[in-house]
Amino acid sequence: MNPETFQIACYLPETILTNEQLAAIYPEWNAGKILEKTGIRQRHVCAPDECASDLAEQAAKRLFAAGQIAPASIDFVLLATQTPDYLLPTTACILQHRLGIPTSAGALDYNLGCSAYVYGLALAKGLLASGVASNLLLIMAETYSKHIHPMDKSVRTIFGDAAAATLLTRATAARIGEFVLGTDGSGASQLMVPVGGARRPSAGAACPEIVDESGNIRTDAHLFMNGPDIFAFTIATIPGLVKATLAKNRLALDDIDLFVFHQANKYMLDFLRKKTGIPQHKFVVDMEDCGNTVSASIPIALRRASDKGILKSGDKVMLVGFGVGLSWGATIITW
């Protein structure tokens, strides 16, 4: 194993939901219109009996199968998911057992969405630099499809299920730069599943169907996203985040070889790229066949960029996450 190389493995569920299938459900939106609005042709969705732990397990097993490291060498499991198998216990603890990772390893979940990978790198860097861990498994696993009403085209056309596992060592931690993180909980209600937690338990909750002005149907037990407000938040926040991250790392825009933002949707990414002045050839847009995979979108994009030869050893890469919370974060890694 080269300890200085970032190792990432991904897993997408077998079931594919195409634009043509969605167009048959939403006659006012044909397949081409969905692609034009989102930049997505298809998305993967988990089976009814598939959960975040199952996707996470498959991604981790692919990482181990690559021969870079064995489960016995992992001493910390850090799992980001907003769709855990259970309210408790922690999904990371379940994974520790299923993957055959030693009981001496630490394991925990953290609940964060589209900025979770950047936050996870920050947490991992601290654990590795402090000596708490030596070989850390950072996993993103999301099954948003389980919380989407089938007649809510505003989110069903966008989100896909996925998992990604990243191996981080003390050597790779040294290749992670400085972080800029942010939070604005005043926007929490703009991207939310209102029912299901302790505030509004699902047991006995009355959840009538709601039809919005665009004809989307959902209940309070389903995912709600205020698209225009999320877009406005992103446009207002991310250009400044990019500048602050460059400044904190004492770099200029031209010093960055590749920019990998959370893969939200193509329209938003194109807008952000132009607003921040990033050249198109340095900017990754890669969601056409998998959709917005929430926390897994950045590592999936990194893995694919590396496989395609777009991302090369020694490249400086800016990672930018933003979304649910509201939360945002960015850092620069040397690949």
Catalytic residues: 114, 262, 292
**Rounded to the nearest 10 degrees, what angle do helices 266-276 and 31-38 cross at?**
30
Query: Do 95 and 60 contact (CB within 8 A), yes or no?
Result: yes
- SS3 of residue 319 by DSSP: strand
Neighbours of 235 (CB within 10 A): 13
According to DSSP, residue 115 is labeled T
The CA distance from 187 to 5, in Å, is 37
Question: What residues contact 225, with CB distance under 8 A and at least 6 apart?
Answer: 154, 155, 190, 191
**Which residue type occupies 38?**
T
SS (H, E, C) 55-82: HHHHHHHHHHHCCCCCHHHCCEEEEECC
**Long-range contact list for 19-26, CB < 8 A, 24+ apart?**
19/157, 22/153, 22/156, 22/157, 25/150, 25/151, 25/153, 26/153
- SS3 of residue 210 by DSSP: strand
The CA distance from 38 to 263, in Å, is 11
Nearest to 42 by CA among 262, 261, 270, 287: 287
- SS3 of residue 151 by DSSP: coil
